[in-house]
Amino acid sequence: MKIKSAEFVMSNSNVAKCPKNNIPEYAFIGRSNVGKSSLINMLTSRKSLAKTSGRPGKTQLINHFLINKEWYLVDLPGYGYARVSKSAKKTFQKFITQYFASREQLVTGFVLVDIRHKPQPIDLEFMQWLGENGIPFSIIFTKADKLKPKAIENHVEDYKKILLETWEEVPNYFITSSSKDIGKEDVLEYIDSLNANMELE
């Protein structure tokens, strides 16, 4: 898939105010500082479509971007934010769960995970919640340029082992690096194939 156009549509914290049309949505979410904005900018080949920040927890709203006038890329707030008050955190958590539970336009979520770290309870809990609520998702491992191939393999295997303790099969996953454009085609082709399947139905 070639991304010819990417336009910002809206930001809000009220799921009821998200776009009302039936354009398919793909939601990106992950812990603070996982490299979500960089990944979105890499996928869309735009330098600053999503605002990158040295300060974790910068995305605090649901952001809709219309891609190729065909589908929405949805940038969601991170969970496990560093410098956010407890009340703000509760508000975020509420609209993140509301978004996933109520958006019929959502095709799938992408849960971003920093490949350099051991499986984190907060990521595993969030994936568990998605699974229990029947919400399809893929894992996107980020920052793969920071590790050697063997280390990447080992970290993915660690994840698989832990996931298979509670899951029947490992969710679909991608290995990416925003600085090296790794995984870009794989993710976009996957979205393309899901869009094509919907058109056939």
**5-44 pLDDT tens trace:** 999 999 988 899 999 999 999 999 998 889 999 999 999 9
The structural domains of the chain, ordered by start, are: 6-195 (3.40.50.300)
The whole-number pLDDT of residue 198 equals: 82
What mean pLDDT is predicted for residues 82-95?
A: 62
CB 163 within 8 A of CB 120: no
Local confidence band at 145 (pLDDT 50, 70, 90 cut-offs): very high
Q: Which residues pair with 25 in a beta bridge?
A: 72, 106
pTM of the model: 0.91
Local confidence band at 78 (pLDDT 50, 70, 90 cut-offs): confident
14: number of Cβ within 10 Å:
10
Q: Which residues lie below 8 Å from residue 186, measured CB to CB, with a gap of 6+?
A: 174, 176
What is the overall mean pLDDT for the chain? 89
Q: Is the dihedral of CA 95, 101, 107, 108 positive or negative?
A: positive
The whole-number pLDDT of residue 47 equals: 85
CB 165 within 8 A of CB 138: no
Helices 149-163 & 121-132 angle (0-180, nearest 10)? 50
